[in-house]
Amino acid sequence: MKLVVGLGNIGKEYENTYHNAGFITIDKVAEEIGVRFNNRSCDADWGDINYKGEKVIFAKPRTYMNLSGKSVNSFMKKYDIDISDVIVIVDDIDQEVGGVRIRKTGSAGTHNGLKSIIAETGSKDFLRVRVGIGKQREHQDLKDFVLSRIKMTDEQKSGFERAKLAVIDIIGGESIDAVMTKYNGNVTKNGKH
């Protein structure tokens, strides 16, 4: 069993903000493969599907970003999911707009959602699909930037599309190394990477 978690903040005021790149991406994956978020438990809205012979849970924590780990840990305990079967989709200010970076492990950096997951699960060895949102403007507060509305440029759309396809390949059983080779990197002006 796999657990795919899109990170974000619930509520209308946070819709289509940069910090909700995880929610946006997981919604695109769910739409593509027919998952509905019609359950609410483990501090999340979630749905599941049998995909290519394996059960996959898709979750959007309702804890707000900084406590995302509580929801992830609840799913892991309730459904006996190993940390190596957790896939987290998250915004990344260290990637250019539209860039995608898939990583098997690593530190949380400045990301409070990742910090919470590491703290709650006691491990940093979970897969991350990081969606590039670019850096804040000079003199702009990081919090103000990540909570601002996304400018849906062609590059940003391409990033969401590639992140969606990467998640689908991962849950479909493609090797992580192959998926990393295929999708990791920045996007050019014509939408290619």
Q: Looking at 19, 111, 139, 193, which residue is catalytic? A: 19
Give catalytic status of residue 19 as yes or no: yes
Q: Which of 62, 60, 61, 36 is nearest to 49 (CA)?
A: 36
Q: How far apart are CA 174 and CA 36, in angstroms?
A: 23
DSSP SS3 for 23: helix
Tokens of 133: 């949102």
Which tokens sit at 21?
Answer: 């790149």
Q: Tell me how many degrees the CA angle 90-106-154 measures, rounded to the nearest 5.
A: 35
Active-site residues: which are they? 19
